[in-house]
Structure 1
Amino acid sequence: MKKIVCFWVLLMAASMAQSGIYKWTDSQGNVHFSDKPHRGAEVIQVPEAQTYSPPPVPETEKQNKAVAEDDETARGYEKIEIIQPENQATIRNNQGLVNVSVELAPDLKPGDRIQLIYDGEKLGPPQNTPNFILNNVYRGAHTIAVQVENAEGQVLTTSEPITIYMHRPRVGMVPQTRPAR
């Protein structure tokens, strides 16, 4: 059914493209135009549609800068470093929250993402911001690193891992109370 409808639509469009424009004057002197022939009508020749082809655009500084940026993209990142927390930092947080900040030079390029590595495993999906929040980090020593991945997931660069120490209170720890006097 769809093929038949498409056939008829194409047939009508082709016939409309072949039709001409007709001009005639009625008995009251009114001029009429139509795409259907009328008794006493004359065929009007329509000129070709006016078109414009712009001249080629000369190369500009912006294009040269884009080429230079492409060269920079091919070189990659010069610096990737975790700036917060510091290496060997001791973190005291009852909820186990750790804020991780990354310094990247040059800035993150379009399509690239930063992946957090926590104790040797990828943690969460890669993101395009240089700040992470770790939740519910257990007591003890942990390693953190980050890596930059391109849109295909290929690792472009990786930071040096840092070690942090999380201190949380014991479960069931009761504060000391003084006896009443």
Structure 2
Amino acid sequence: MRLYWVILCLVYSGSAVSDQKVYRWKDKNGNWVYSDVPKKGSEKVKLSTNMLTMPATDTSILTPNPATPTVTYQAKITAPSDQQTLRENSGSVYVNGLVTPRFANGFQVQLFLNGKATGPKQTTASFALRDVPRGEHKLQMKVFNDKGMLVAQSAVTTFFLHRASLLNR
């Protein structure tokens, strides 16, 4: 019922606009003055009855293109290699990774050591770990898109860290 009244009001308001009369005259400063009330010495202005029309808008750009291929990212830890033994008395381990294809702006990489994040997400796939205790450790690299969603993760890489001990003397 409301829709009926809205349509009825729109129809009558359009016809009311076309029936209005406009008058113009010059004031004492020589400026044109327009009004719907006639004044002595005013002249009637002929109004155009053409309603404004707009061309149709192309909405095809709003629908997603199904032909757009989705990119599948892959992550790989390149160093240390799987089952590699490292001898580093300071406990420093340098980890390098590779993401293919090259990831887009806003993507970030995070490294996990033994299932725990080693630090915040970053934009490069090179990491420096400090004070890693001796023994067996597992690394995994995860890639996140600009919305924070996981898009790729590497296989788990196992490495062994040997550090000198006072017990070995």
TM-score range, shorter chain: 0.5 to 0.7
1:168 aligns with 2:168: no
The answer to which structure, 1 or 2, has the higher relative contact order (CA under 8 A, 6+ apart) is 2
Equivalent pair of 1:147/1:157 in contact (CA under 8 Å): yes
Equivalent pair of 2:118/2:129 in contact (CA under 8 Å): no
Task: List aligned pairs for 1:22-171, cutoff 5 A.
Answer: 42-43=30-31, 71-72=68-69, 74-77=70-73, 79-170=74-165
Secondary structure at the counterpart of residue 127 of structure 1? coil
Structure 2 runs not aligned, ≥5 long = 1-27, 33-64
Equivalent pair of 1:82/1:103 in contact (CA under 8 Å): yes
Q: TM-score, normalised by structure 1?
A: 0.54
Aligned sequence identity (%): 29
1: CA distance, partners of 2:168 / 2:160: 23
Q: Give the counterpart letter for 1:126 in structure 2.
A: K
2: CA distance, partners of 1:168 / 1:127: 28
Equivalent pair of 1:108/1:128 in contact (CA under 8 Å): no
Change (3 A) 1:117 1:75: same
- What residue number does 2:25 align with? none
Coordinate RMSD, CA, aligned: 3.0
Q: TM-score, normalised by structure 2?
A: 0.57
2: CA distance, partners of 1:123 / 1:160: 17
Structure 1 runs not aligned, ≥5 long = 1-39, 45-66, 176-181
Q: Please state how far the C-alpha of 1:174 moved relative to its aligned partner.
A: 9.1
